[in-house]
Structures are given as structure tokens and as C-alpha cells.
Amino acid sequence: MRILISVDMEGIAGVTGREEIMRGHHDYERFRHLMTAEANAAIAGAFDGGADSVVVNDSHGGMRNLLYEELDPRAELISGHNKVLTMVEGGQDTQGALFIGYHARAGTGGAVMDHTISGAQVHNWFLNGTPVSEAEINAALLGHYGVPVLLVSGDDKIAREVNERLPGVATAIVKHGMDHRAARALPRSVVLQRLHDASQEAVSTIARAPIHRVPGPVTFRLEFTRSFYAEVASLMPSVVRLDGRTIEVTGQDIVEAWRWASSALRLGSTGDN
């Protein structure tokens, strides 16, 4: 059994501010160790739960955060950017996935660094008309390949959203969000043990895991933070501009829709120049 572990950074215990998750900032190097430690707890749990191979996908920012030399040597590591499935690349040939260090969707109150894909550019990200978190988008992408998400870890707010939107997916809370830049982290020993145990349990009960399939055609709607992002994204013929800040794309299936949406975001982002 092969397991994908997608690791983001905003939902790692102890993380509360941008300086901790952005390259070049003073605190960033410290928090890379914490991120890698949480990945390792999940890797160990996955193997103890019955996995015989694990691939970890670095899923935050430029996707070069995890410390390879500190990663459990049994795991493979995908790092770097421009992956079609971005945060869940490498999951296509696995049997299940764990999402570690995830965060609530844009607009969630009391959540640590809530955003969806790009906080600076996207105010709200909708899938078939419903606002979604990255966890939900990624679950749908993996569902296209018949791969179930087994576990999502992060603060209590992403756990609540997963419980609401992805029933049957386990959650592991490592901190309680207080506001956008504050949280109460659980003791580190509790966090690492909980991630290990939850990963082990999730992998060992994989036969019961639901697959989150979103049948096509699929529509993504992006409400940008600025009108000029929508304006530039609309240069692409497949993009429909709904209003000053909002665009929509449709794909025959979730992967095609995702490729259009992420391309529109990339193109729109050049509107800053």
C-alpha cells in the first residue's frame, strides 16, 4: 500500500504568523524543522498502519520547505513547483492520502491564516458554486483517480470544515485558532503522538474510507481581491468574467477545471505588473 502525505505549513502547531512560513524571514528556518517533524510523525504512523511505501509532497508556497535530510529516510519527497496537481501531485498512483498542516478556507473566522490557494489574490474560491477549502479541492482531485483522503490535520477550524464537507475523513487538531494570527498550540509531545496515532488509525482502516468524487462538468469560480486580476485572467478565452472581480471556468472533469482555474490565477496574478 502506497500513501501520499501532502504537507502544508499554516496548520502546523506553533505557526501563527507570516514571518514563520515565508522564506527569507528570520523565524522561517525554525518552523521548517517543526513542519518536518509533523511530516515524520505522519510517515511513521502510515508505516505502522500498514503502508509499505510513502511519498511526501511539499505543499506550501514554493514547495521547497521540508528538510530532506531530516525526513524519515523511508519516505520519498516531492519538492518544487509547477506540478499539475500542485498540493496532491504524486497521489495518482497511491491508495490513500493524509493532509498535514492544513488550514481553513478563506473567510473563516477564528482560523489561523485562513485562505484558499492565494490569500493575496483570491477572496473566495468556489467549486460548483460552494466556497471550498484547499482540503476539499485536493480531495476532489484525488477522487478523480479513485484515491481517498484519510486524514486532515491543522487547527480546529479546518477540522470543523472537513467534518462538514468531507464526512468520513478523520481529523487531527494540533492547535486551536484564536484569530487570523493567533492560536493555542497543544503540547508538542501531544501533537506528534496524535499525528502518529491518527495516521496509523486512518491508514489501517483505509478499506472504509469514502472517495470524494465530484462528477463533471466541474466549475470553479474565483472571486479575486482586485478587479485587475479578473481583467487579466479574462484574456484567456476559456475564462468567463462574471463581474468586476469574479471569473468562472468549466472543465469536463475536476482535473481539467483545476488546470483552467490555476492557469487563470497564474495569468491573473501578472496583473500586478
Point out which residues bind Zn ion (CB under 5 A): 8-10, 60
For Zn ion, give the closer residue by CB, 134 or 223.
134
CB of 237 to Zn ion, least distance (A): 31
Q: Which is nearer to Zn ion, 61 or 216 (CB)?
A: 61
Which CB sits closer to Zn ion, 8 or 58? 8
Locus of grid cell 482531485: 141
Least Cβ distance, residue 95 to Zn ion (angstroms):
25
**Measured distance CA(40)–CA(80) in Å, rounded:** 19
List b or e across 17-31, with b for residues whose CB sees 16 or more CB atoms inside 10 angstroms: beebbeeeeeebeeb
Least distance from Zn ion to the Cβ atom of residue 64, Å: 12
CB of 105 to Zn ion, least distance (A): 13
* Spatial distance between the Cα atoms of 180 and 271, rounded to a whole number of angstroms: 27
Comparing CB distances to Zn ion, the nearer of 142 and 209 is: 142
Contact between 104 and 38 (Cβ < 8 Å): no
DSSP letter at 54?
A: E
Sign of CA dihedral 13, 19, 23, 29: negative
CB-nearest residue to Zn ion:
60
First to last CA, the chain: 46
Least distance in angstroms from the C-beta of 101 to Zn ion: 8
**38: region left, alpha or beta (phi > 0 left; psi from -120 to 50 alpha):** alpha
* Cis peptide leading into residue 217 (ω within 30°): yes
User: Of 10 and 155, which CB lies nearer to Zn ion in the complex structure?
Assistant: 10
CB 113, min distance to Zn ion, A? 8
Kindly tell me which of 219 and 225 has the beta carbon lying closer to Zn ion: 225
